[in-house]
Amino acid sequence: MEKKRQALKKLLLAVEKELLRKPDRKTLDRLSLLAGFQDWDSFQDALHGDVSADENYKTKK
């Protein structure tokens, strides 16, 4: 029983560590696309800056 308890404890620690890990840039870019932005930087600019989110939808000439 003690071996199972130790194994479960190790598994829980590994899962917790993975959940607390910061996502990489590729993941952040993909999440930004789901929110309607071109990339993570444009999402951050719209979220924290003075840039309107409408700027993201303008076509580039």
Which of 11-15, 37-41, 55-59 ranks highest by mean pLDDT? 37-41
Q: Assign residue 36 a region (left: φ > 0; alpha: ψ between -120 and 50; beta: otherwise).
A: left
Closest CA to 31 of 41, 21, 18: 41
Q: Residue 28: pLDDT band by 50, 70, 90 thresholds?
A: very high
- Residues in contact with 25: Cβ distance below 8 Å, sequence separation at least 6, in sequence order: 40
Give yes or no for residue 51 having a pLDDT over 70.
Answer: no
List the structure tokens of 43. 């999402």
Half-sphere exposure of 36 (CA within 13 A, CB side): 9
List the structure tokens of 22. 């910061």
